[in-house]
Amino acid sequence: MRYNLRTLGGLALLGGPAGESFAESRRKPLAMLAFLAGAGDLAVTRDKLATVLWPEGEPDKVRASLKQTIYMLRQELAEPELFLGTGDLRLNPEVLDVDLWAFERAVAARNPEQAVALYRGPFLDGVHINEAPEFEHWVDHQRDRLARRFASQIELLALGAMGKNDPRGAAEWWLLLTEQDPFDARAVSGLLHACLQAGDRPRAIRYAERHMNLMRKELEITPDPEIRRLVEQARARPGG
Protein backbone atom coordinates (compact mmCIF):
# COMPACT_ATOMS: atom_id res chain seq x y z
CA MET A 1 0.00 0.00 0.00
CA ARG A 2 1.46 3.37 -1.00
CA TYR A 3 0.64 6.83 0.29
CA ASN A 4 1.29 10.23 -1.23
CA LEU A 5 2.56 12.96 1.07
CA ARG A 6 1.85 16.40 -0.37
CA THR A 7 3.96 19.19 1.03
CA LEU A 8 3.86 21.74 -1.81
CA GLY A 9 0.86 24.03 -1.50
CA GLY A 10 -0.18 22.65 1.89
CA LEU A 11 0.16 19.41 3.82
CA ALA A 12 -1.92 16.27 3.31
CA LEU A 13 -1.54 12.52 3.22
CA LEU A 14 -3.44 10.84 0.41
CA GLY A 15 -4.22 7.20 -0.28
CA GLY A 16 -4.98 4.18 1.83
CA PRO A 17 -7.87 3.85 4.29
CA ALA A 18 -7.19 7.20 5.97
CA GLY A 19 -7.30 9.23 2.78
CA GLU A 20 -7.15 13.01 2.74
CA SER A 21 -9.17 13.24 5.96
CA PHE A 22 -5.96 12.32 7.78
CA ALA A 23 -4.92 15.96 7.36
CA GLU A 24 -7.87 17.28 9.34
CA SER A 25 -6.98 16.18 12.87
CA ARG A 26 -3.39 14.94 12.65
CA ARG A 27 -1.39 18.12 12.20
CA LYS A 28 1.61 17.18 14.37
CA PRO A 29 2.01 13.62 13.01
CA LEU A 30 1.87 15.06 9.49
CA ALA A 31 4.40 17.71 10.47
CA MET A 32 6.71 14.92 11.62
CA LEU A 33 6.34 13.19 8.24
CA ALA A 34 7.07 16.49 6.47
CA PHE A 35 10.18 17.07 8.58
CA LEU A 36 11.45 13.58 7.78
CA ALA A 37 10.60 14.12 4.11
CA GLY A 38 12.72 17.26 4.15
CA ALA A 39 15.67 15.21 5.38
CA GLY A 40 15.40 12.92 2.34
CA ASP A 41 17.88 10.04 2.56
CA LEU A 42 19.36 11.37 5.80
CA ALA A 43 18.05 9.84 9.00
CA VAL A 44 16.87 12.09 11.82
CA THR A 45 17.47 11.26 15.46
CA ARG A 46 14.51 10.81 17.77
CA ASP A 47 15.96 13.52 19.99
CA LYS A 48 15.94 15.95 17.08
CA LEU A 49 12.32 15.13 16.22
CA ALA A 50 11.33 15.62 19.85
CA THR A 51 13.16 18.93 20.10
CA VAL A 52 11.59 20.27 16.92
CA LEU A 53 8.00 19.22 17.58
CA TRP A 54 7.71 19.24 21.38
CA PRO A 55 10.26 21.84 22.48
CA GLU A 56 8.60 22.85 25.73
CA GLY A 57 7.68 19.45 27.13
CA GLU A 58 9.29 17.50 29.93
CA PRO A 59 11.81 14.98 28.53
CA ASP A 60 9.91 11.87 29.64
CA LYS A 61 6.60 13.16 28.32
CA VAL A 62 8.20 14.27 25.04
CA ARG A 63 9.74 10.85 24.45
CA ALA A 64 6.38 9.25 25.21
CA SER A 65 4.60 11.62 22.79
CA LEU A 66 7.06 10.83 20.03
CA LYS A 67 6.81 7.10 20.62
CA GLN A 68 3.02 7.30 20.62
CA THR A 69 3.00 9.34 17.39
CA ILE A 70 5.25 6.85 15.60
CA TYR A 71 3.09 3.95 16.81
CA MET A 72 -0.13 5.72 15.82
CA LEU A 73 1.12 6.43 12.29
CA ARG A 74 2.17 2.84 11.76
CA GLN A 75 -1.13 1.53 13.08
CA GLU A 76 -3.53 3.93 11.37
CA LEU A 77 -1.77 3.65 8.04
CA ALA A 78 -1.39 -0.12 8.45
CA GLU A 79 2.26 0.25 7.45
CA PRO A 80 4.69 -1.22 10.01
CA GLU A 81 7.57 -0.36 7.65
CA LEU A 82 6.60 3.30 7.33
CA PHE A 83 9.88 4.30 8.97
CA LEU A 84 13.34 2.92 8.33
CA GLY A 85 15.71 2.67 11.25
CA THR A 86 15.18 2.34 14.98
CA GLY A 87 17.09 5.05 16.82
CA ASP A 88 17.46 7.36 13.83
CA LEU A 89 14.47 7.50 11.49
CA ARG A 90 13.80 8.21 7.84
CA LEU A 91 10.77 7.66 5.64
CA ASN A 92 10.48 4.48 3.64
CA PRO A 93 10.24 5.38 -0.09
CA GLU A 94 8.61 2.01 -0.73
CA VAL A 95 5.63 3.16 1.32
CA LEU A 96 5.50 6.91 0.73
CA ASP A 97 5.62 8.99 -2.43
CA VAL A 98 6.53 12.59 -1.58
CA ASP A 99 5.93 15.47 -3.98
CA LEU A 100 8.97 17.26 -2.54
CA TRP A 101 11.20 14.34 -3.55
CA ALA A 102 9.67 14.26 -7.03
CA PHE A 103 10.26 17.99 -7.42
CA GLU A 104 13.89 17.70 -6.35
CA ARG A 105 14.42 14.77 -8.72
CA ALA A 106 12.98 16.75 -11.64
CA VAL A 107 15.32 19.66 -10.87
CA ALA A 108 18.31 17.32 -10.63
CA ALA A 109 17.30 15.65 -13.91
CA ARG A 110 17.15 19.07 -15.61
CA ASN A 111 13.48 18.67 -16.39
CA PRO A 112 12.14 22.15 -15.58
CA GLU A 113 8.74 21.58 -17.14
CA GLN A 114 8.07 18.63 -14.85
CA ALA A 115 9.46 20.51 -11.84
CA VAL A 116 7.15 23.46 -12.48
CA ALA A 117 4.17 21.15 -12.88
CA LEU A 118 4.93 19.47 -9.53
CA TYR A 119 5.17 22.73 -7.62
CA ARG A 120 1.57 23.29 -6.49
CA GLY A 121 2.42 26.15 -4.14
CA PRO A 122 4.68 27.19 -1.25
CA PHE A 123 6.10 24.47 0.97
CA LEU A 124 3.68 23.60 3.81
CA ASP A 125 1.55 26.58 2.84
CA GLY A 126 -0.70 27.59 5.75
CA VAL A 127 0.79 25.02 8.13
CA HIS A 128 1.72 26.17 11.64
CA ILE A 129 2.60 24.21 14.76
CA ASN A 130 1.94 26.09 17.98
CA GLU A 131 4.89 26.55 20.35
CA ALA A 132 7.35 24.93 17.95
CA PRO A 133 9.61 27.83 16.84
CA GLU A 134 12.38 25.61 15.47
CA PHE A 135 9.88 23.83 13.22
CA GLU A 136 8.49 27.17 12.04
CA HIS A 137 12.02 28.43 11.31
CA TRP A 138 12.79 25.24 9.38
CA VAL A 139 9.60 25.61 7.34
CA ASP A 140 10.44 29.23 6.48
CA HIS A 141 13.91 28.21 5.32
CA GLN A 142 12.62 25.33 3.20
CA ARG A 143 9.81 27.45 1.77
CA ASP A 144 12.25 30.14 0.65
CA ARG A 145 14.74 27.62 -0.76
CA LEU A 146 12.11 25.77 -2.76
CA ALA A 147 10.48 28.96 -4.03
CA ARG A 148 13.85 30.06 -5.39
CA ARG A 149 14.37 26.69 -7.05
CA PHE A 150 10.90 26.91 -8.57
CA ALA A 151 11.67 30.38 -9.91
CA SER A 152 14.92 29.14 -11.44
CA GLN A 153 13.01 26.40 -13.28
CA ILE A 154 10.52 28.90 -14.71
CA GLU A 155 13.41 31.08 -15.88
CA LEU A 156 14.98 28.10 -17.64
CA LEU A 157 11.72 27.50 -19.50
CA ALA A 158 11.43 31.18 -20.44
CA LEU A 159 15.00 31.34 -21.74
CA GLY A 160 14.48 28.05 -23.56
CA ALA A 161 11.41 29.43 -25.32
CA MET A 162 13.33 32.54 -26.36
CA GLY A 163 16.10 30.32 -27.69
CA LYS A 164 13.50 28.51 -29.82
CA ASN A 165 12.25 31.84 -31.20
CA ASP A 166 8.99 31.51 -29.29
CA PRO A 167 8.61 34.90 -27.61
CA ARG A 168 4.92 34.40 -26.88
CA GLY A 169 5.66 31.19 -25.04
CA ALA A 170 8.52 32.91 -23.22
CA ALA A 171 6.21 35.75 -22.22
CA GLU A 172 3.85 33.29 -20.52
CA TRP A 173 6.70 31.80 -18.51
CA TRP A 174 8.03 35.24 -17.53
CA LEU A 175 4.50 36.25 -16.56
CA LEU A 176 4.24 33.22 -14.27
CA LEU A 177 7.51 34.26 -12.67
CA THR A 178 6.28 37.81 -12.07
CA GLU A 179 3.18 36.36 -10.43
CA GLN A 180 5.46 34.59 -7.95
CA ASP A 181 7.40 37.79 -7.28
CA PRO A 182 5.94 40.98 -8.79
CA PHE A 183 9.01 42.94 -7.62
CA ASP A 184 11.49 40.81 -9.60
CA ALA A 185 12.94 43.30 -12.08
CA ARG A 186 14.77 40.55 -13.99
CA ALA A 187 11.51 38.66 -14.60
CA VAL A 188 9.67 41.83 -15.61
CA SER A 189 12.50 42.77 -17.95
CA GLY A 190 12.35 39.30 -19.54
CA LEU A 191 8.58 39.65 -19.91
CA LEU A 192 8.91 43.02 -21.64
CA HIS A 193 11.61 41.78 -23.99
CA ALA A 194 9.45 38.79 -24.93
CA CYS A 195 6.34 40.91 -25.49
CA LEU A 196 8.24 43.37 -27.65
CA GLN A 197 9.85 40.59 -29.67
CA ALA A 198 6.38 39.09 -30.20
CA GLY A 199 5.16 42.46 -31.44
CA ASP A 200 2.78 42.91 -28.52
CA ARG A 201 3.60 46.51 -27.61
CA PRO A 202 0.38 47.25 -25.62
CA ARG A 203 0.96 44.24 -23.41
CA ALA A 204 4.56 45.27 -22.76
CA ILE A 205 3.45 48.78 -21.78
CA ARG A 206 0.67 47.44 -19.54
CA TYR A 207 2.95 45.07 -17.60
CA ALA A 208 5.70 47.68 -17.32
CA GLU A 209 3.35 50.31 -15.93
CA ARG A 210 1.88 47.84 -13.47
CA HIS A 211 5.36 46.96 -12.21
CA MET A 212 6.53 50.57 -11.96
CA ASN A 213 3.39 51.63 -10.07
CA LEU A 214 3.85 48.73 -7.68
CA MET A 215 7.47 49.67 -7.01
CA ARG A 216 6.55 53.28 -6.30
CA LYS A 217 3.50 52.57 -4.13
CA GLU A 218 4.61 49.47 -2.22
CA LEU A 219 8.36 50.01 -1.89
CA GLU A 220 8.54 53.75 -2.53
CA ILE A 221 11.55 53.32 -4.79
CA THR A 222 12.34 54.29 -8.35
CA PRO A 223 11.77 51.43 -10.83
CA ASP A 224 14.77 49.74 -12.44
CA PRO A 225 16.35 51.84 -15.22
CA GLU A 226 16.13 48.92 -17.65
CA ILE A 227 12.38 48.69 -17.09
CA ARG A 228 11.98 52.41 -17.70
CA ARG A 229 14.10 52.16 -20.86
CA LEU A 230 12.01 49.30 -22.21
CA VAL A 231 8.69 51.00 -21.58
CA GLU A 232 9.97 54.18 -23.23
CA GLN A 233 11.11 52.07 -26.17
CA ALA A 234 7.68 50.43 -26.37
CA ARG A 235 5.87 53.76 -26.28
CA ALA A 236 8.10 55.17 -29.00
CA ARG A 237 7.40 52.32 -31.40
CA PRO A 238 4.77 53.03 -34.03
CA GLY A 239 1.76 50.82 -34.45
CA GLY A 240 0.37 48.36 -31.90
What CATH code is carried by the domain that includes residue 36?
1.10.10
Q: What pLDDT is recorded for position 60?
A: 87
Q: Which domain holds residue 176?
A: 165-236
Q: Which of 110, 132, 147 is the last residue of a domain?
A: 110
Last residue of a domain, one of 43, 75, 110: 110
pLDDT for residue 151 = 96
Which of 21-25, 67-71, 227-231 has the lowest average pLDDT? 21-25
The size of the chain, in residues, is 240
Give per-residue burial for 81-100: e unless 16+ CB within 10 Å, then b: ebbbeeebbbbeeebbebbb
Percent of the chain with pLDDT over 90: 67
* Residue 207 domain-assigned (yes or no): yes
Provide the pLDDT for residue 21.
54
28 and 98 share a domain? yes
> Which spans in the chain are helix H?
22-25, 27-39, 46-53, 59-76, 99-108, 112-118, 133-163, 167-180, 185-197, 201-214, 225-236
